[in-house]
């Protein structure tokens, strides 16, 4: 059977791939989207959406505030130091809070919208195994489903296949790796209503780390517990009750009993091998990488989804007009370069910001400890507020203007 032919084939239906497919399909571009998972909940990803991500989704046609999918708005933040209350920060730009949204529900909804278009093909539960070439340029994807292999063809191939990207590996993209010294254990426990008001994100700074805990849509508190890189194997041997006991050593007394009761009621466990990297070029042999596949983000500031969505918008702005008319491979390659050029300043700014806090938190120097203990006073200084405001601006609103133009 001869391969099906598309204008665009996208590998990976995470936020970048699903967003891009929506824009392409709704503009009449013949689009294939390939996702290895049959069930989106099998793939663990972040759930925090910043105002930039909210706006990007709204631009594409998904206004979270008007959608009936599971979400929780974190309207308050409370920070503790070694189990004692330190500060309830109210960063500039935080007025509307941060939305924690079920990614499986959101992605499923986005795919349903794509499926309204006849020019859209969704290959659910299909893994991209390899690429196919014509005269040295990638012209298709090799898919596997239930041990059956077949190919699809496309004029443009886009890899949105995340941090362990197959396309990145297959095409040997050159990568700059910014080593990180932490990993994170993520899990959820029932929401501690006796301790936290609904919709409150909680953080506890401890001598060699941090616990970051957003309120989630499923009446759960998600615990992100920072550990030394590579120490998970040892912690895993001890078992999850040992994790809780470890956390209890430095947690506020009001949370201690709740954690005790939560033993045996832990869900959504995931160990995140924290990393930051970036492909030196985002395109090769006719393939463009976007989202985590092009630049893996660490979880600081909850930026990955937001950046991935904004990548998709910029890519669509450049590619939709080209795909609607006859185009040369050179025109496509030039567009790939323009997309990278437009997105790079924001990606670099966010990754540069993300590099430092993990080390500062893990290796707390005397100065860091002093600053943390006196944060209430220090944060009143105009100079510090100016720096905080600059950081908040980057995290909440991004560095560059991104809007749909097609």
Ligand X SMILES: Cc1cc2nc3c(=O)[nH]c(=O)nc-3n(C[C@H](O)[C@H](O)[C@H](O)COP(=O)(O)OP(=O)(O)OC[C@H]3O[C@@H](n4cnc5c(N)ncnc54)[C@H](O)[C@@H]3O)c2cc1C
Residues contributing to the site for ligand X (CB under 6 A) = 11-17, 34-37, 43-48, 127-128, 160-163, 166, 186, 270, 272, 291-293, 297, 299, 302-306, 308
Which residue, 354 or 364, has its beta carbon nearer to ligand X? 354
Give whichever of 19 and 335 is closer to ligand X, judged by the CB atom. Answer: 19
Q: Could you tell me the CA-to-CA distances from 302 to 99, 100, 299, 350, 354 in Å, in that order? A: 11, 10, 5, 10, 10
> With respect to ligand X, which residue has the nearer C-beta, 272 or 322?
272
Closest to ligand X by CB, 75 vs 327, is 75
User: Minimal distance in Å, beta carbon 139 to ligand X?
Assistant: 17
> Looking at beta carbons only, is 258 or 310 nearer to ligand X?
310
C-beta closer to ligand X: residue 166 or 351 = 166
Residue 12's region, left for phi above 0, alpha for psi from -120 to 50, else beta, is left
Task: Write the CA distances from 209 to 183, 184, 306, 358, 374, integer angstroms.
Answer: 11, 10, 25, 8, 18
- Nearest distance from C-beta of residue 321 to ligand X, angstroms: 23
At closest approach, how far in Å is the CB of 80 from ligand X? Answer: 20
Q: At its nearest, how many Å lie between ligand X and the CB of residue 390?
A: 20
Backbone angles phi, psi at 90, to 5 degrees: -130, 70
Exposure b/e, 35-68, CB count within 10 A at least 16 = b: bbbeebeebebbbbbbbbbbbbbebbebebeeee
Between 46 and 398, CB nearer to ligand X: 46
**Residue with tokens 């590099």, as numbered in its chain:** 355
Q: What is the distance between the alpha carbons of residues 258 and 247, in angstroms, rounded to a whole number?
A: 12
Smallest separation (angstroms) from ligand X to the CB of 82 = 25
What is the rounded CA–CA span in Å between residue 30 and residue 119?
A: 5
Separation of alpha carbons 371 and 87, rounded Å: 13
Tell me how far, at minimum, the Cβ of 47 lies from ligand X, in Å.
6
CB of 19 to ligand X, least distance (A): 8
Nearer to ligand X, 45 or 373 (CB): 45
**Which of helix, strand or coil describes residue 209?**
strand
CB 269 within 8 A of CB 16: no
- Rounded Cα–Cα distance for residues 406 and 292 (Å): 24
Least Å from the CB of residue 378 to ligand X:
27
């Amino acid at each position: 059977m001869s391969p099906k032919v598309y204008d665009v084939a996208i590998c990976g239906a995470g936020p970048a791939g699903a967003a891009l497919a929506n824009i392409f399909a709704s503009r009449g571009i013949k689009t294939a989207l390939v996702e290895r998972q049959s069930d989106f909940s099998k793939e663990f990803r972040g759930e925090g959406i910043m105002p930039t991500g909210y706006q990007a989704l709204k631009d594409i046609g998904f206004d979270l505030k008007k959608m009936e999918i599971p979400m929780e708005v974190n309207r308050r933040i409370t920070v503790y130091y070694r189990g004692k209350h330190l500060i309830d920060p109210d960063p500039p730009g935080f007025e509307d809070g941060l939305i924690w949204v079920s990614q499986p529900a959101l992605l499923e909804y986005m795919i349903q919208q794509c499926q309204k278009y006849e020019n859209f093909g969704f290959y659910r539960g299909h893994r991209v195994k390899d690429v196919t070439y014509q005269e040295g340029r990638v012209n298709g994807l090799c898919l596997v489903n239930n041990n059956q292999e077949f190919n699809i063809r496309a004029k443009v191939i886009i890899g949105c296949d995340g941090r362990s990207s197959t396309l990145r590996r297959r095409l040997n993209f050159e990568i700059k790796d910014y080593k990180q010294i932490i990993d994170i254990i993520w899990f959820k426990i029932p929401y501690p209503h006796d301790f936290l008001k609904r919709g409150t994100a909680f953080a506890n700074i401890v001598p060699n780390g941090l616990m970051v805990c957003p309120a989630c849509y499923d009446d759960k508190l998600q615990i992100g517990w920072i550990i030394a890189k590579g120490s998970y194997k040892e912690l895993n041997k001890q078992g999850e009750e040992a994790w809780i006991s470890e956390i209890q050593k430095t947690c506020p007394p009001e949370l201690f009993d709740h954690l005790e009761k939560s033993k045996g009621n832990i869900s959504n466990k995931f160990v995140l091998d924290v990393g930051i990297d970036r492909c030196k070029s985002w395109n090769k042999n006719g393939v463009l990488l976007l989202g985590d596949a092009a630049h893996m983000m660490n979880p600081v500031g909850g930026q990955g989804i937001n950046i991935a969505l904004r990548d998709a918008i910029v890519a669509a702005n450049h590619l939709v007009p080209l795909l609607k008319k006859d185009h040369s491979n050179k025109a496509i390659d030039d567009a790939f370069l323009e997309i990278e050029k437009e997105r790079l300043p924001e990606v670099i700014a966010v990754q540069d910001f993300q590099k430092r806090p993990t080390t500062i938190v893990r290796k707390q120097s005397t100065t860091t400890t002093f600053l943390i203990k006196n944060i209430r006073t220090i944060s009143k200084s105009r100079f510090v507020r100016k720096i905080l405001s600059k950081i908040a601006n980057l995290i909440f609103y991004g560095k560059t203007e991104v809007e749909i133009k097609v």
